[in-house]
């Protein structure tokens, strides 16, 4: 397995640990995305025994045992500190949103089917947002959080105008842009209606629905009216080479939408399209920013150079120091200028 593929496949576990102890979103507008449950009171001792059994199963299955506590924080009236302090700090009875039998069934799906724990409970934390997710969208990765900061830095003092998030999925990038660029207009595009439904909910839950316009279609297709007007294009497109998709971690290969993973034979199909199509939509000096697979930066930069209409093309690393993003600015040539 190549280094790049190992980096992609290990992303899953990084995204499973929350920063806080927030509960599942309870807004009625989102209940259709979340598993239906009925709360019960469970013996604290029995729940602790369940936790120890589940942690052992996780170790045997080469799954991060921290996922057990992540799951318990989502389904039970427990916080991270209580779980860390140990059994003696658990109350005599704990309110859980399902029986231990149902919790066993849920955990079996994690162990046996390798279903991502985020899909089991329908939720994940990203930046400081609590988001709904389902198998219709990718599980947002921590690495992607940096793309919002890069976009804001690239914008400098000119933080208004129209920004588009192409292939929005659960809407995370659009949410980050809407919050970080309060004077900008944000447009989120996805070809999947189911993904857009989730993105709309997440925007509503974050109080940002009025800041984002959602459009269904492929890449720039629904943006004809914005030709020459876009201040910034941001995207986390599919970039895994087709023959590597089946080799990804089973949580990813079996359960996450392949439409959002498969980048064609060399993994660069969507990236080429974005580079070659964006000039018709970006305003002069407009920002072109994408995430890519580790090891692809040289190829992505070459695609942009070959277009002969981008300047200041540069690769930017993620928090681990691996190349992860490419940033460029649209500079129309004389042949492109009316």
The mean predicted confidence, pLDDT, of the chain is 88
pLDDT of residue 156: 92
Task: Give the CA diameter of the chain.
Answer: 75
* pTM metric for this prediction: 0.84
pLDDT at 232 over 80: yes
User: Cα–Cα distance between 201 and 186 in angstroms, integer?
Assistant: 16
Tokens representing 260 are 């959002």
User: Cα–Cα distance between 287 and 234 in angstroms, integer?
Assistant: 8
Residues 6+ positions from 139 with CB-CB distance below 8 Å: 12, 15, 116, 118, 119, 124, 133, 256
Q: Which residue has the higher pLDDT, 52 or 30?
A: 52
> Of the ranges 74-78, 87-91, 251-255, which one carries the lowest mean pLDDT score?
87-91
pLDDT at 121 over 60: yes
Query: What residue ranges do the domains of the chain occupy?
Result: 35-121, 142-330
> Of the ranges 50-64, 78-92, 299-313, which one carries the lowest mean pLDDT score?
78-92
pLDDT at 44 over 90: no
Superfamily of domain 142-330: Vaccinia Virus protein VP39 (3.40.50.150)
pLDDT of residue 82: 80
Q: What is the pLDDT of residues 146-198, one digit of tens each?
A: 999 999 999 998 889 999 999 999 999 999 999 999 999 999 999 999 999 99
pLDDT of residue 31: 40
Cβ proximity of 322 and 292 under 8 Å: no
When pLDDT is cut at 50, 70 and 90, the band that residue 33 belongs to is: low
pLDDT at 337 over 50: no
pLDDT at 54 over 50: yes
pLDDT at 276 over 70: yes
pLDDT at 23 over 60: no
When pLDDT is cut at 50, 70 and 90, the band that residue 134 belongs to is: very high
């Amino acid at each position: 397995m190549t280094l790049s593929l190992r980096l992609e496949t290990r992303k899953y576990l990084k995204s499973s640990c929350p920063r806080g102890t927030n509960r599942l979103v309870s807004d009625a507008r989102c209940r259709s995305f979340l598993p239906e449950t009925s709360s019960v009171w469970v013996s604290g001792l029995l729940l602790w025994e369940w936790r120890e059994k589940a942690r052992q199963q996780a170790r045997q299955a080469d799954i991060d045992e921290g996922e057990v506590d992540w799951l318990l924080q989502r389904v039970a009236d427990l916080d991270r500190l209580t779980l860390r302090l140990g059994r003696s700090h658990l109350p005599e009875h704990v309110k859980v949103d399902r029986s231990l039998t149902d919790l066993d069934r849920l955990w079996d799906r994690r162990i046996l089917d390798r279903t991502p724990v985020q899909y089991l409970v329908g939720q994940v934390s990203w930046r400081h947002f609590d988001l709904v997710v389902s198998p219709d969208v990718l599980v947002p990765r921590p690495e992607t959080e940096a793309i919002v900061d890069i976009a804001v830095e690239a914008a400098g003092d000119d933080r208004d105008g129209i920004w588009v998030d192409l292939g929005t999925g659960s809407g995370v990038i659009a949410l980050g842009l809407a919050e970080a660029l309060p004077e900008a207009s944000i447009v989120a595009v996805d070809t999947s209606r189911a993904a857009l439904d989730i993105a709309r909910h997440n925007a509503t839950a974050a109080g940002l629905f009025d800041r984002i316009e959602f459009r269904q279609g492929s890449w720039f297709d629904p943006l004809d009216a914005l030709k020459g007007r876009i201040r910034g294009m941001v995207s986390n497109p599919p970039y895994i080479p087709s023959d590597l998709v089946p080799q990804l971690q089973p949580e990813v290969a079996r359960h996450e939408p392949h439409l959002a993973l498969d980048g064609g034979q060399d993994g660069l199909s969507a990236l080429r399209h974005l580079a070659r199509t964006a000039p018709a939509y970006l305003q002069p000096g407009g920002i072109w920013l994408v995430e890519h697979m580790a090891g692809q930066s040289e190829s992505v930069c070459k695609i942009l150079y070959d277009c002969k209409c981008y300047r200041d093309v540069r690769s930017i690393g993620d928090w681990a120091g691996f190349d992860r993003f490419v940033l460029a600015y649209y500079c129309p040539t004389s042949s492109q200028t009316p």
